[in-house]
Amino acid sequence: MWESATELGKRYGYRNAQVTVLAPTGTISFLMDCGTTGIEPDIALVKYKLLAGGGMLKIVNQTVRPVLEKLGYNSEEIERIIAHIDAFDTIEDVADGGAGLKPEHLPIFDCAFKPHKGGRSLSYMAHLRMMAAAQPFLSGAISKTVNMPEAATVDEIMSTYVEGWRLGLKSVAIYRDGSKRSAPLNTRKTKDMGATDDVDLSTEKFKNRILELEEELVMLRNRVDQPTRHRMSETRMSLTHKFEIAGHEGYITVGLCEDGQPGELFIHMAKEGSTIGGLMDTIGTLTSVALQYGVPLESLVKKFAYQRFEPSGFTKNPDIRNASSITDYVFRWLGCQFIKGYKEATSPSRSHPELPLKEIPDMEKKAVNRPVADLSRTRKEN
C-alpha cells in the first residue's frame, strides 16, 4: 500500500509525494507536493507571512515550474517567468518586456486573491462550484472558505449564500477581503514586515525626507514641554452647594468631568457688592483654568485653604464649622468632596453631641457688614 500510493503520486506529476499513517486506525493520509490541501485554490502565487517573533516569511508556490513544463515552455522561458514572479509577485505582465506567458494560459494561474501588482483572481463563484463538485461524495460539509473581494456588496454576499443552497452545499463560510484587522497571510509586504514598496529612495529625496522627519521630531519634542488644556464638554454634570459664613450666603457650583472629578468652579455670592462678587468670580475662573490644565486639586486646596480675611466666622457645615475666609471655605469644601481622606483628616469629630450656643447668632449678626444707616448715631464724649 505504501509503495502503490507513492507511485500513484509520482505518476500524476507529484515528485515529492509523502504517505503518512495515522495510528491507531491505520488511516492513510496522501500528501502531495501541492501549494494547498483539499478543495482550495492558493491565495496567491507569492504570499508574505509576518512571524510572531519578528521577521517575514516569503512563500512561493512551487507548482508553477511543473505546470509550465506541462504547457510546453522551454527552460529559458520558464526561468524568465519564474524571475518575473519573484520580482513582481505576479505572473501577469506589469513591466516592460513582461513575463512571456501566453495570454490563453493566464487563467490557469489565477488564485483566490488578486496580487498586489496584478488584476486577475478567481471569481468567488468558482469557490462555490469547487465545493459543489465534491459535495455529493461527502457525508459532511466541506471545510472551505469562499473568498470575496473587498468591494463585495451586501447583495453579492446574499446571492452567494443562495447559490450555495441551490448547488446543494451543506455549509458556506464567507471571508470578505480586508475584514480582519490583521491577516496571517498577505499578498504584499506590509509596514510591519519592513516593506519598502512604492518608496522613492533616490539620494536627494531621501535626504529631504530625513530633514522633514527631523523637523517634525523637534516640533513634537517642543509640544511635550507645553501644557495642554482639556476643555469641558458642552453638556456635563454639576454639583451645587449652598453655604453661609457669618451671615454671608453664597453658592458653589462645580462642573464635573466624565470621571467625576471637578473641571470648573463657579462661586456666586448672594446680596453682596460688586467687589466681593467680582473677586469670587475671578477665583472661580482661575481655579477652572488650572484644573483644565492639569493642576492637581490637592495642590490648589493646600495653597488656598486657611487663607484669612473678612468675611469670616462660623458656618452651618458640620465638616467646616469655622471658616477664616470665603476662599478658605470653598477650597476646604472641595477637599472634603473630591480628595480621598481629606474630610476624615480635617473635619471635627462627630462623636460628640452638638451643644447649643446662644451667643453665636449675636456674634454672626455683629459680623455682618451693615449699611451706615443701621449704625447708632451716638457720639463718644471725650
**pLDDT tens-place string over residues 270-283:** 876 678 888 888 99
- For the ranges 194-198, 210-214, 298-302, the maximum mean pLDDT occurs at 298-302
Q: What is the pLDDT of residue 125?
A: 87
Q: Is the pLDDT of residue 162 over 90?
A: yes
Alpha-carbon gap, residue 342 to 40, rounded angstroms: 68
Per-residue pLDDT band at 240 (split at 50, 70, 90): very high
119: left (phi over 0), alpha (psi -120 to 50) or beta: alpha
Q: What is the pLDDT of residue 23?
A: 35
Alpha-carbon gap, residue 244 to 60, rounded angstroms: 82
Per-residue pLDDT band at 155 (split at 50, 70, 90): very high
- The pTM for the full model equals 0.41
Query: What's the whole-number mean pLDDT along residues 353-372?
Result: 55
Q: Is the pLDDT of residue 352 over 70?
A: no
Q: Is the pLDDT of residue 141 over 70?
A: yes
Q: Is the pLDDT of residue 300 over 80?
A: yes
Bridge partners for 29 per DSSP = 20
Alpha-carbon gap, residue 14 to 63, rounded angstroms: 9
Query: What's the whole-number mean pLDDT along residues 203-210?
Result: 75
Q: What's the grid cell of residue 9?
A: 503520486
Q: Is the pLDDT of residue 374 over 60?
A: no
265 three-class SS? strand
Using an 8 Å Cβ cutoff, are 233 and 214 in contact?
Answer: no
For every residue of 8-68, DSSP letters joined together read: HHHHTT-TT-EEEEETTTTEEEEE-S-SS-SS---S-SEEEEE-TTS-EEEEE-TTHHHHH
User: How far is CA 28 from each of CA 37, 104, 269, rounded to the nearest angstrom?
Assistant: 15, 38, 91
Q: What is the pLDDT of residue 266?
A: 93
Query: What's the whole-number mean pLDDT along residues 165-178?
Result: 88
pLDDT, mean over the chain: 77
Q: Is the pLDDT of residue 53 over 70?
A: no
Per-residue pLDDT band at 166 (split at 50, 70, 90): very high
Q: What is the pLDDT of residue 379?
A: 54
Q: Is the pLDDT of residue 245 over 70?
A: yes
Q: Is the pLDDT of residue 12 over 50?
A: no
Alpha-carbon gap, residue 122 to 41, rounded angstroms: 9
Q: Is the pLDDT of residue 143 over 60?
A: yes
User: In this predicted model, what pLDDT tens digit does every residue of 113-139 receive, in sequence order?
Assistant: 888 888 888 888 888 888 898 888 888
Alpha-carbon gap, residue 367 to 280, rounded angstroms: 19
Which of the pair, 105 or 369, is modelled with greater confidence? 105
Q: What is the pLDDT of residue 366?
A: 58
Per-residue pLDDT band at 239 (split at 50, 70, 90): very high
Choose the weakest-confidence range: 46-55, 260-269, 327-336.
46-55
Per-residue pLDDT band at 285 (split at 50, 70, 90): very high
Q: Is the pLDDT of residue 18 over 60?
A: no
Q: What is the pLDDT of residue 94?
A: 78
User: pLDDT over 70 for what percent of the chain?
Assistant: 74
